[in-house]
Structure 1
Amino acid sequence: MDNDETIQTIVNCMAVTGEDTSIQKIQTEHRLKLAQFWGITKGSRVLEIGCGQGDTTAVLAFLTGESGFVQGIDIASPDYGAPITLGEAYEHLKRSELGNRLEMNFEVDVLSDKISYPDQSFDFIVLSHCSWYLESFEQLTSIMEKVKKWGKQLCFAEWDLNDIRRLST
């Protein structure tokens, strides 16, 4: 499958508004490049923190293949977001060909004492374009400190590093 076919396959699994998917294809291509750079491969087990509507989740699920799994968590409620809510986007993904490779849970505060995974449960822990939702740099570092033992590799991406600087002030 070539890159354009891969992107189209992933986009077909996602909830998008309207007929024009050109923006979603650009977003998906960006996330695909990130996940490939991080080394996500078939059979990988991934924890995605801040999964939102599943833009990165869909890419990760595609790359992990049927033998892999993506667990997404987000602090937001399933009714957050517009014109498509997080819950609606998740339900759409679950009904797609990627649905058996992923799970997304909402209203999950990763810093809560109630949230824990055994050490090395995941091959990758991903925070993709979600840090700008955080209240402070200290919150980001607390998350990274807590989750690092859950996986083998921590993967981080943000649109603009100025967002990180904003958190630290």
Structure 2
Amino acid sequence: MAPSIVSNIADCMAVKGEIQFNQTEHRVKLVESWGIEAGSKILEIGCGQGDTTAVLAYFTGEKGQVYAVDIAGPDYGSPVTLGESRDYLVASSLGNQIKMEFQVNILADTVTFPENHFDYIVFSHASWYLRSAEELSAILKKSRRWGKQLCFAEWDAAIQHVEQQSHLLAVLLQAQYEAFKTDSEANIRSLFTVEDIKDMAKDAGWNVVKEESIYSPKLKDGDWEVDMVLEFAEKELRQLPEIPGKLEKLIRSQLRILQRNKETLPIHPLSTVALTAR
């Protein structure tokens, strides 16, 4: 891909610098894998701060439209909130083809669209944010009526490099103590493997026609997850008094492994699986 394309899209984001460039570059790889065509009408579920939204808007062009929604509120997120990021993005050169709304529960009865209203349904790095497999299955089933093609991306729990071990371990730790919560605002609440996602997509009526592994080693998501787990694990455990003692000891052992890894191994992000289904 041309660096100028990535730079032009990244300039439309509120966050600046190398981190945003690398995030945008990764999303360009995803959108290219999905084959998003110009002039398309797109529904993006779980848009967050709009990293994928901006890339989708660029590829669909001035004649296309991206309707991006997220269940979180506009005040969620750091160092830039979702609302601040949206305001910056819609005021940019890509803004005319973007509509972003927050606090939208896609499973609510009031949220509906005509059959095949969208050319693409996009779910990009948003599934681990969900509370359960049942919620993901319900979203895949409900949205199938609305779009012709599903474009799905998530981290791949099958590590390909030893340096990815820490990212995976940080995700597993969070998924373990998140399993005891009824309410949470964590970035990772569930873990789904590629096989889990493909099974749920199939059950929802989607036929996976393409699967691609995408590795973007410059992303810092692995570092962020590891640092967050090591910083807040004790607080998380104290808030779960009902957790079985044996499981707590297991989690503490895993935390020691994670700390040792951080001190002895580079941290690389997990690879991403990009799925295309019809």
Instruction: Give structure 1 regions of 4+ aligned residues with deviation exceeding 6 angstroms.
Output: none
Query: Which of the residues 15, 26, 47 maps onto 1:51?
Result: 47
Partner of 2:31: helix, strand, or coil? helix
Which residue is 1:106 aligned to? 102
Separation in 1 of the partners of 2:37 and 2:74?
A: 28
Which residue is 1:35 aligned to? 31
Q: Deviations over 1:71-105 (max 9, x none)?
A: 00000001111110000000000110000010001
Partner of 2:145: helix, strand, or coil? helix
CA deviation after TM superposition for structure 1 residue 32, in Å? 0.5
CA deviation after TM superposition for structure 1 residue 123, in Å? 0.4
Q: State yes or no: 1:9 paired with 2:8.
A: yes
Q: Which has the larger radius of gyration?
A: 2
- Aligned pairs, number: 162
Separation in 1 of the partners of 2:37 and 2:8?
A: 17
Which residue is 2:86 aligned to? 90
Separation in 2 of the partners of 1:118 and 1:58?
A: 25
CA deviation after TM superposition for structure 1 residue 142, in Å? 0.6
CA deviation after TM superposition for structure 1 residue 160, in Å? 2.9
Q: State yes or no: 1:128 paired with 2:128.
A: no
Q: State yes or no: 1:144 paired with 2:166.
A: no
Partner of 2:33: helix, strand, or coil? helix
Query: Which of the residues 60, 75, 81 maps onto 2:71?
Result: 75
Normalised TM-score (structure 1):
0.92
Q: State yes or no: 1:164 paired with 2:163.
A: no
Separation in 2 of the partners of 1:11 and 1:26?
A: 9
State the superposition RMSD in angstroms: 1.3
Unaligned runs of at least 5 residues, structure 1: none
Separation in 1 of the partners of 2:142 and 2:157?
A: 22
Percent of residue pairs identical: 54
Query: Which of the residues 110, 114, 121 maps onto 1:118?
Result: 114
Separation in 2 of the partners of 1:50 and 1:136?
A: 15
